[in-house]
Amino acid sequence: MERADVLKNYAAFEAMRAELEADHLGQFAVLHGGQLIGTYVSIREARIAGNALCGVGNFTTQEIRPEPVDLGMIAAALI
């Protein structure tokens, strides 16, 4: 898979992140060609589905979880 394809899939994921977090938090998204192929309960299920539907290695998977919040230097100093 080319870098451009990975970036396209990631941009598509980011565009739908809020909806995916609301409906599929904790699952794994499979993306191909900038399109969501499906969401799956485990990374294993996502990889199996991606290989079957898109071809071996011709897709990306992304865990659906809240984006980390950067609390800045003050938070780092408190750790």
Identify the CA nearest to 62 among candidates 79, 73, 47, 78: 47
**pTM to 2 decimals?**
0.83
d(CA 9, CA 3): 10
At 17-63, the pLDDT tens digits run: 999 999 999 999 999 999 999 999 999 999 999 999 999 999 999 99
**40 three-class SS:** strand
Cβ-contact 4, 60 below 8 angstroms = no
Instruction: Name the least confident of 1-5, 32-36, 47-51, 65-69.
Output: 65-69
Cβ-contact 25, 36 below 8 angstroms = no
Cβ-contact 50, 32 below 8 angstroms = yes
